[in-house]
Amino acid sequence: MKSQTFFIKTFGCQQNEADSQRITSYYLARGYSLAKSMKSAGEIVINTCMIRQSAEDRVTGLVKNIVKSAGRRIKPKIVITGCMVGMAAHDETGKYLKTLRSRMPEVDEFLPLEEVGFDYPALRNDVSHSWVPISNGCNNFCTFCVVPFTRGREVSRPFGDIISEIKGLAKHGCTEVTLLGQNVNSYGADLVKNTKAGYKLPSGRIVKPVMVKHLGRYRIPTLFPYLLEEVCKIKGIKKVKFISSNPWDFSDKLINMIAQNPKIDRNIHLPVQAGDDDVLKRMNRWYTRSQYMKLVEKIKKEIKGAQISTDIIVGFPGEAKKQFENTVDLAKKVNFAYAYVAKYSARPNTAATKAFSDDVDHAEKERRFHVLDQLINHTGINRSAVH
C-alpha cells in the first residue's frame, strides 16, 4: 500500500548518512516498506543539515518541489528530521519550531532523532565498509558552529555496544569501519565515573582514562585510544578510520596508539579552520597556529606515512586580508593532503552570529575560497591521499 512506503533523502555529513541507516530500520520496524523512488513513496523523510544556509535552502526547496510535483494527486506525507529538528528540539523558547512551521507549512511531522535513538540497527546496503557512530553532539561551542544546538551536548555510546556492533558487522563481511563523532577523541568523557579508579572495558581490562587538555588543564578523560585498540583486535577488521578529531584533544596516547596499530588509517582529518591566532580565538578554537603546527609535526614524525587533511572556513567575521594570508601560509607549510574549504555562513543561535557581523563580502569570500581550494586541492603534491 502506497501510504505504507517511505523514502529517505539525506543531506549533509557521514553522521547524517549513518543516522538515516538507523531511521530506515525504525520505519521498517513500524511496518513500512522502502519505496524505489521518492516519486512512488507514500511518506518522504528528509534528513536535514544546517551547516550552512545553502544546506537549509536545499531542504526548503525540496519540500516545495515535492508539493509541486504531486500536482493534483494526494501529496505524500512529508517528515523532517535531522539537524533542523534537532535545533527545534533543543530550543526551549519554541521559536525555531515556529520558524520551521512558517517556512515549510507543507511539512506533516517533525521527527527528533532522539525518538529513533541507537536501538535500531543501522540498515546498510554494503557492510564491507561501515560507518559506526560512537558519540553524538558536541560540548565545544566553536562560535561559528551550529552542531551543539542541533545535536546537543556530547553523549558517548556505551563502549560494549560499539564493540558488539562491529563484531556483528565483521561476521557479515565488514572489513573496514569508520568511527563517527563530532569530536571522536573526547569519546567516553561522560562514561568515566572515576578517573582514579579507572574504566573497565567490556573485556574486563581496567584502563586509565587519558586526560586531554581543556582550557589549559588536563581535565577531559577520554577512552578513544582504547576504543581504537579494541576495534583493531576484532577478527576480520582490517582497517579502522575515524572522523572528526579536534586538535586540542589529540593526545600523545592517541598518537602512539595509531603509530602502533597498522590497521588504523594514516589519513588523519584534523580541522584547523584558520591559520591566524586572532581568528582562531574569535572562533573559540583552543589552540594557536603554532600549537597546531607542532601537533602536525609530531603526528608526522611519530606515525609513519601520516597524511593530514583539514577543514578551513574563509571569510569568518572580521577576517582581514592579512589574517587570511596567514591561513594560506599555514596551508603551504603543513602541505595538507586535502581540505574542505567553506565560506563562512552565519548560523542561528551561534555566538559568532550574535557577536559579530558577517562583514566579508560574498565576492571576497569566493576569492579566498578559490585561493585555498586551488592551493590545497588542485596543486597539492599529496593528491594520492584524497579519498
Give the binding-site size for ligand SF4 (rule: CB under 6 A).
10
Question: Using CA atoms, how far apart are residues 61 and 284, in angstroms rounded to an integer?
Answer: 33
Only segment of 25-33, 102-110, 139-147, 211-219 that touches ligand SF4 (CB under 6 A): 139-147
Give the residue, chosen from 145, 295, 303, 337, that forms a contact with ligand SF4 under the rule CB under 6 A: 145
Query: With binding defined as CB under 6 A, does residue 180 bind ligand SF4?
Result: no
CA distance 373 to 368: 8
Q: Which of 225, 177, 235 is nearest to 201 (CA)?
A: 225
Least spacing, CB of residue 229 vs ligand SF4, in Å: 24
Name the segment binding ligand SF4 (CB under 6 A); options: 140-148, 204-212, 227-235, 296-304: 140-148
Q: In whole angstroms, how far apart are CA 104 and each of 38, 85, 147?
A: 18, 12, 22
Stretch that binds ligand SF4, among 122-130, 136-144, 250-258, 340-348 (CB under 6 A): 136-144
Question: Closest by alpha carbon to 263, among 223, 312, 229, 300?
Answer: 229
Q: Is 220 exposed, middle or buried (0-12, 13-18, 19+ CB in 10 A)?
A: buried
Residues in the chain: 387
By C-beta, is 99 or 284 nearer to ligand SF4? 284
| Residues between 240 and 299 with contacts to ligand SF4, criterion CB under 6 A | 246
CA distance readout (Å), 151 to 15, 114, 264, 275: 11, 9, 27, 27
Residue 178 or residue 246: which is nearer to ligand SF4 going by CB?
Answer: 246
Residue 260 Cβ, how far from ligand SF4 at the closest point, in Å?
Answer: 26
227 touches ligand SF4 by CB under 6 A: no
Specify the stretch interacting with ligand SF4 by CB under 6 A; choose among 13-21, 81-89, 128-136, 142-150: 142-150
At 316, the amino acid letter reads F
Which residues, in sequence order, are CB contacts of 180 under 8 Å at separation 6+?
14, 15, 18, 131, 132, 133, 134, 242, 243
Binder among 46, 138, 189, 339 for ligand SF4 (CB under 6 A): 138
CB of 140 or CB of 222, closer to ligand SF4: 140
- Kindly list the residues in this chain that would bind ligand SF4 in the complex (CB under 6 A): 138, 140-142, 145, 147-148, 182-183, 246
